Structure 1
Amino acid sequence: MGRHQLSMQRRLILHTDLKVSPLCLGTMTFGTPVGEREAVKIVHAALDLGINFIDTANMYEGYTRSMGSPGGLAEAYIGQALHGRRDHAVLATKAGNPIGPEPEDKGLSRTHLLRECERSLKRLQTDYLDLFYLHVPDPDTPLAESIAACAELIASGKTRHWAVSNFAADQTRQILDLCAEGNWPLPVAHQPSFSLLNRTIAEDLLPLCIEREVAVIAYRILESGLLSGKYTDPDNPPADSRAAEKPEWLPQLQDAQTQRSLAEISAQADAANLSLFDYTIRTTVSTPGITSAILGVKKPAQLAAAVRALD
């Protein structure tokens, strides 16, 4: 493990002193199917392997979560795992998605963001975040209010920097312009969905982020497991796969265009003498503009496999 820790490169998030690994530990599985004991093992394995970047959200509590449930499990598990190791991690969380039935339990208002940041800090057992994301756009709150709230959190030391997730290119440009006009801290990162099967952001968002020096932290890089190499028969997913646990994902797996695209990518992997999984990991993290790629796992061994793919 020490060899990986030494060889795992660090990438600077521009306009910060944050140096992150090209792989980022995603924690959406924490809760179900990953319980606390296994989650702690996964976090420790990530740090031991040289993955110092940990991504979570106030809403994360596993696959069985329903929209509006309180969340918080993933953050609590991470807080337990980082006892004595907080300084070894670059820690990011998010707020904005519904975490309760009341109007103030969602969105990007100042009240919600400040409240949720405090709650996240308590669950994570830390007094500061490295990154605090606006998880999703909120059409009911002026962008200026959300930006000002993030500036307030930075000024109070609750978070070192702020970022956005799931914002379109035009929304991101508007945020950057508002920050420049109002002399507010700029968002230093953007977390969009990106994979070899879904390169939509390459059309506009990725070039914008490169131009404006915003780090891109890609999620869903394995496209819910489609690029893992485990789905050899689209009609019979493996018992421990995400498609088996969430059958509503089967139509995507069985889609004819998806199968054609998978065949093309698999051929590229074969030509490179790599497995589909290794090819996906390598190609994603080497995509210009991608600073780090989020990988969610159920077992520490899956992290080790991803690190080996970069060797």
Structure 2
Amino acid sequence: MAKSGAKIVFGTAAIARLSLEEGKAMLQICEKHGVKELDTAYVYPGSEETLNKLGATKEFILQTKAPLGSKLTQETVLDGMKTSLERLGVDSVDLLYLHAPDPTTPVEETLVAVRELYSAGKFKRFGLSNFLPEDVQKIYDIQSKAGSVLPSVFQGNYNAVSRHIETDLFPLLHKLKISFYAYSPIAGGFLVKNTAQLRVKDDAGRWGSGNPIADMYTTMYGKETLYQAVDEWAEIAKDAGISKAALAYRWITYHSALKAEYGDAVIVGASKSAQLEETLKAVDDGPLDEKIAKRASDIWEKVKDDAPLDNYHSYMKEQPLS
């Protein structure tokens, strides 16, 4: 019997860069493939407003995040949610995440705002993103003691070359009955590039020279062992007769530590509708050949000493708060 894969969530961080026609085409593709959940955030430029313009708020399940890059004070969280709901044109969302930790504000204060918003019916599910296991347990305990909404979803960085969380975070999430939603399943595009592009930062999309996001991804993945892994990844994909992206999406959906029974999900993004169609078709193709899947899984042992944890702890934590 084929393994049941993790569900797919559409990540809309870049949707505002597209025409409304292209954005609408993406949502139609999501409907076609049974994708019902949309991931957005306060800090994704224009994303929430664009989803409103596209009418997505009526057809899809919405998930957003508290402000990032500012202090998570009670006021900031409350004001951020008010703004997000106004942008989306809705009274409430399915899921509200804390996007990342704020070491300058006691989490107890942040959670006061979370409880206030939940009591007011502004969201149904509470999520965490980019937190360490000990912080997840602390937040869970505080919320449990308060008799309020418990975290039920964790969104984190997870892909074939970033798997540290399998050993410490995942067991905790399973114990607490928290689902895991994986962002960056192709490692920010790393797994679909070639090492010539990556080394010289030439024609490498978000990895290209002068791209404001390039510094983050280069800091996270720009190491020799990881470059070698990209070459090996290309060989595996060639032997499988599929694209490097398809290998990544099918591996994480069907052969990683994610499990459908836990409510786990993979967040996929796209810069154009044709790309999204290609991604979702690849997922629909189902599990990989067992030998191919094993070769993809085995790469982790070769890179784990140099692999990043997540976007926050491996880069953003060192950047100044606004």
- Pick the TM interval, shorter chain: 0.7 to 0.9
In 2, the alpha carbon distance for the partners of 1:209 and 1:251 equals 28
In 2, the alpha carbon distance for the partners of 1:254 and 1:137 equals 25
String of CA shifts for 1:261-299, please: whole Å, max 9, x gaps: 223434444554443211110111232336111122110
Task: Give the deviation of 1:251 after TM superposition.
Answer: 7.2
Task: Give the deviation of 1:182 after TM superposition.
Answer: 2.2
- The correspondence for 1:196, drawn from 145, 160, 166, is 160
Counterpart mapping for 1:210-289 below 5 A: 210-228=174-192, 233-235=197-199, 239=203, 241-244=205-208, 246=211, 248=215, 249=217, 255-270=223-238, 272-286=240-254, 287-289=256-258
Q: Which moved more, 1:35-44 or 1:210-219?
A: 35-44
In 2, the alpha carbon distance for the partners of 1:212 and 1:288 equals 16
In 1, the alpha carbon distance for the partners of 2:218 and 2:94 equals 37
In 1, the alpha carbon distance for the partners of 2:78 and 2:109 equals 12
In 1, the alpha carbon distance for the partners of 2:195 and 2:269 equals 17
Q: Is 1:294 paired with 2:270?
A: no
Call closer, same or farther: CA 1:161–1:255 in 2, change over 3 Å.
same
Call closer, same or farther: CA 1:181–1:205 in 2, change over 3 Å.
same
SS at match of 1:197: coil
Task: Give the deviation of 1:50 after TM superposition.
Answer: 1.9
SS at match of 1:225: helix
Call closer, same or farther: CA 1:51–1:10 in 2, change over 3 Å.
farther
Call closer, same or farther: CA 1:240–1:299 in 2, change over 3 Å.
farther
Please tell me whether the aligned partners of residues 169 and 208 of structure 1 are also in contact (alpha carbons under 8 angstroms): yes
In 2, the alpha carbon distance for the partners of 1:220 and 1:256 equals 20
Call closer, same or farther: CA 1:31–1:185 in 2, change over 3 Å.
same
Q: Is 1:158 paired with 2:143?
A: no
Call closer, same or farther: CA 1:80–1:254 in 2, change over 3 Å.
same
In 2, the alpha carbon distance for the partners of 1:152 and 1:252 equals 36
Match of 2:25 in 1: 41
Match of 1:3 in 2: none
In 1, the alpha carbon distance for the partners of 2:221 and 2:113 equals 41
Of structures 1 and 2, the one with the larger relative CO (CA 8 A, separation 6+) is 2
Which letter maps to 1:289? L
Task: Give the deviation of 1:109 after TM superposition.
Answer: 1.9
Task: Give the deviation of 1:191 after TM superposition.
Answer: 0.8
Q: Which moved more, 1:230-239 or 1:158-167?
A: 230-239
Counterpart mapping for 1:125-136 below 5 A: 125-136=89-100
In 1, the alpha carbon distance for the partners of 2:179 and 2:228 equals 31
Task: Give the deviation of 1:252 after TM superposition.
Answer: 6.5
Q: Which moved more, 1:87-96 or 1:264-273?
A: 264-273
SS at match of 1:216: strand
SS at match of 1:192: strand
In 1, the alpha carbon distance for the partners of 2:124 and 2:198 equals 44
Please state which structure has a larger fraction of its residues in helix: 2
Q: Is 1:88 paired with 2:56?
A: no
Q: Which moved more, 1:165-174 or 1:274-283?
A: 274-283
Call closer, same or farther: CA 1:232–1:297 in 2, change over 3 Å.
farther
SS at match of 1:224: helix
Please tell me whether the aligned partners of residues 206 and 289 of structure 1 are also in contact (alpha carbons under 8 angstroms): no
Q: Is 1:140 paired with 2:140?
A: no
Please tell me whether the aligned partners of residues 40 and 78 of structure 1 are also in contact (alpha carbons under 8 angstroms): no
Task: Give the deviation of 1:138 after TM superposition.
Answer: 1.5
In 2, the alpha carbon distance for the partners of 1:306 and 1:267 equals 19
In 1, the alpha carbon distance for the partners of 2:204 and 2:30 equals 21
SS at match of 2:109: helix
Please tell me whether the aligned partners of residues 197 and 204 of structure 2 are also in contact (alpha carbons under 8 angstroms): no
- The correspondence for 1:169, drawn from 124, 133, 136, is 133
TM-score (norm 2): 0.75
CA RMSD of aligned residues (A): 2.6
Please tell me whether the aligned partners of residues 98 and 129 of structure 2 are also in contact (alpha carbons under 8 angstroms): yes
Please tell me whether the aligned partners of residues 129 and 160 of structure 1 are also in contact (alpha carbons under 8 angstroms): yes
Task: Give the deviation of 1:235 after TM superposition.
Answer: 4.4
TM-score (norm 1): 0.78
Please tell me whether the aligned partners of residues 188 and 215 of structure 1 are also in contact (alpha carbons under 8 angstroms): yes
Q: Is 1:206 paired with 2:179?
A: no
